[in-house]
């Protein structure tokens, strides 16, 4: 028995109808099941797990939670082995599958408890869990009942609901943001969907240079390239703005089920002057919506980068604060 389990009471009793099968899902099954999640995070996608394994040499463990047969949740964890111990991280999981369990909320506590027990079965295993839960008393109670305590407060992200029609989405833009979009639409720059290849590599090179110059966190260009290679052609949505043959700005989003994540962006001085990023993000929103995507996650916002926060909030998306990291 794991040392951390001993003497720690939990209010969530074991549910004998729940079981977890680890590392039994093939890629097609995982993708099919994940498509049934309502809102998901990129960290729980198959392509993200494969990119972590390829770029960082870590072990990816995937579990399917079943209740009397049908799959009702998915969880992807990353294991780092250190001398005499293992550190397991679950980021933005699990994915709940309401299509297979319409009354999934009443069994959610059992799902979380089953995952906690599953990844802490052996001695010297340490679990750090950042669930895809909005912060609040209910989420904090759920995690404490599971047997964990919060060690890092949650970060904020902006989520756009793409379920509305295009006119409504445009009306929900902040007035200043919408004015910049109108100004960008009057420019002569050309907007194109960029397939994998030379232009995508150029965009990621520019993004990497910007990331290093400004010393902000985030995925490296090499990691994003690997992620894109593991995703399907339809899952990677990359748009770029051109002045003649010269790229002046670009955005990259990755679909995962009903959700997409804005994952990388870059704008040159010429792109900033023409408000290219406003037009690119708006076009990406419309393309994703037309392709059946319901949610767009714009990624983290922080008081240390107020300009980026204002830009993301100007899209009309909702600021969501997550429940944090639990140990």
Q: pLDDT higher for 116 or 216?
A: 116
Where do you find CATH 3.40.630.30 in the chain?
18-148, 158-322
φ, ψ (nearest 5 deg) of residue 9: -75, 145
CATH architecture of 158-322: 3-Layer(aba) Sandwich (3.40)
96 band by pLDDT with thresholds 50, 70 and 90? very high
Examine the pLDDT at 174 and tell me if it is beyond 60.
Answer: yes
The encoded tokens of residue 57 equal 């040499």
Per CATH, the homologous superfamily of domain 18-148 is Gcn5-related N-acetyltransferase (GNAT) (3.40.630.30)
Residue 217's pLDDT band, with cuts at 50, 70 and 90, is confident
Mean pLDDT across the chain = 91
pLDDT digits (tens, 9 = 90+) for 18-32: 999 877 789 999 999
Nearest in space to 324 (alpha carbons), one of 150, 91, 148:
150
E strand or H helix at 178, and its extent? helix 175-185
Q: What residues have CB less than 8 Å from 58, skipping those under 6 apart?
A: 52, 78, 79, 80
Distance between first and last Cα of the chain: 17
Query: What pLDDT sits at residue 122?
Result: 66
How do strand 318-321 and strand 236-243 relate by DSSP bridges?
unpaired
Q: Using one digit for the tens of pLDDT, what is the confidence trace for 303-313? A: 888 999 999 99
C-beta of residue 296 within 8 angstroms of C-beta of residue 82: no
What pLDDT is attached to residue 307? 92
Q: Round to whole Å and give the CA distance between 43 and 89.
A: 11
pLDDT of 2:
33
Confidence of residue 5 (pLDDT cuts 50, 70, 90): very low
Cis peptide preceding 53, ω within 30 of 0: no
Nearest CA to 153 among 174, 130, 176?
Answer: 130
């Amino acid at each position: 028995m794991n040392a951390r389990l001993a003497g720690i009471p939990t209010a969530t009793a074991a549910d004998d109808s729940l079981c977890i099968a680890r590392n039994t899902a093939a890629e097609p099954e995982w993708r099919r099941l994940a498509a049934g999640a309502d809102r998901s995070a990129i960290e729980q996608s198959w392509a993200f797990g494969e990119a972590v394994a390829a770029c960082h040499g870590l072990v990816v463990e995937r579990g399917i939670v079943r209740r009397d047969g049908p799959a009702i949740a998915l969880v992807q964890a990353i294991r780092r082995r250190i001398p005499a111990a293992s550190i397991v991280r679950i980021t933005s999981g699990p994915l709940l599958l309401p299509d297979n369990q319409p009354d999934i909320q009443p069994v959610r506590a059992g799902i979380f408890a089953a995952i906690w027990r599953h990844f802490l079965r052996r001695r010297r295993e340490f679990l750090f869990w950042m669930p895809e839960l909005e912060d609040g008393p209910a989420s904090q109670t759920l995690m404490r009942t599971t047997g964990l305590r919060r060690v890092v407060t949650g970060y904020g992200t902006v989520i756009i609901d793409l379920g509305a029609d295009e006119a409504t989405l445009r009306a929900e833009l902040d007035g200043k943001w919408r004015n910049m979009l109108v100004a960008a639409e009057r420019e002569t720059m050309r907007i194109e969907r960029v397939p994998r290849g030379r232009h995508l590599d150029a965009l990621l090179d520019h993004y990497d240079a910007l990331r290093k110059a400004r010393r902000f966190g985030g995925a490296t260009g090499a990691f994003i390239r690997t992620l894109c290679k593991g995703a399907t052609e339809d899952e990677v949505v990359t748009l770029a703005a051109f002045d003649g043959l010269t790229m002046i700005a670009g955005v990259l989003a990755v679909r995962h089920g009903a959700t997409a994540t804005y994952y990388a962006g870059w704008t040159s001085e010429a792109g900033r002057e023409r408000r290219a990023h406003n037009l690119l993000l708006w076009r990406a929103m419309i393309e994703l919506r037309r392709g059946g995507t319901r949610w767009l996650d714009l990624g983290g916002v922080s008081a240390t980068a107020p300009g980026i926060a204002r830009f993301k909030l100007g899209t009309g998306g909702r600021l969501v604060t997550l429940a944090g990291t639990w140990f």
